[in-house]
Amino acid sequence: MKIGVFDSGLGGLVITKAFIQTMPEFDYCYYGDTKNLPYGEKTSGQILSYTLEAVKYLIAQDCKLIIIACNTATSIALRYIQQRFIPAYAPDIKVLGVVIPTVEEAVFNGAGTIGVIATPATVRSHIYQTELLKLNPNLKIFELATPKLVPMIENNQFDLADEICQEYAKPFWHADSLILGCTHYPLVKNYFRRLLPNVKIIAQDELMGAKLQDYLTRHPEIASQLACNYNYQFEVSLINEQSAAVAQRLFPGIVIKEKASD
């Protein structure tokens, strides 16, 4: 069986790339819901509906372990999927998110003041604040919705990156660390590192490969069911010239296909 990765668009390709670089032997199936992005501007009901549809699709693609790489979908839908949907629909499947591994990294860094940038829906959920405070109740946390970043990245408009990142970096000059709380944001991590040279920038593409490897080491009963044929499948709900260009930027040499209509 495969490892499935789901994202609201193409940003999750950077996470999938990290998985493949760390553990290339496994079979992977990536699905990006490019038709309905950006999720950060959608209602919670819409996000849950889209995420459930994607998880069902990955289960149908023989995925044993599914990673919801989208921070917005993780914040809105993961708990329902883990506690209500999966036990009834596919109890042998495991579904994980990206928030918990990210906050573990932020707190491990020993920071006292942590900034979070994310989509509006993720910020509204306060999932990062909630999970960070569980690990350290004394943290000072500052969250900022950054709605311009995902459309800029998905539309391959990186000529706007410097101006947009400058705007969003300003509130975090005095933070110890800044969580880039969206799988698209590793594409602009170098902008934030240049703008905030004294702040530890936490980008999910740099930690998720090791986190998944650790998870599989601790759960050999899951790892033993995963196929190791080096087969990689990349699909999106809608592909166009722009998305193809972004996919190449995220994962050079990738062959990405549009999901067949139901």
Q: Name the active-site residue from 29, 63, 70, 165.
A: 70
Residue 59 CB partners (closer than 8 Å, separation 6+): 4, 66, 89, 90, 93
Q: What is the dihedral of CA 207, 15, 182, 32, to 10 degrees?
A: -160
Angle (nearest 5°) at CA 250 between 161 and 118: 55
d(CA 188, CA 167) in angstroms, rounded, equals: 13
Would you call 182 a catalytic residue per the annotation? Answer: yes
Cβ distance 34 to 154 under 8 Å? yes
Say how many C-beta atoms besides its own lie within 10 A of residue 252's C-beta. 8
Q: What is the dihedral of CA 185, 186, 191, 193, to 10 degrees?
A: 120
Question: What single string gives the DSSP state of each residue in 24-80?
Answer: TTS-EEEEE-GGG--GGGS-HHHHHHHHHHHHHHHHHTTEEEEEE--HHHHHHHHHH
- Helix (H) / strand (E) element for 3: namely strand 2-7
Say how many C-beta atoms besides its own lie within 10 A of residue 220's C-beta. 9
Q: Name the active-site residue from 29, 63, 165, 182.
A: 182
Residue type, 154: E
Provide the annotated active-site residues: 70, 182
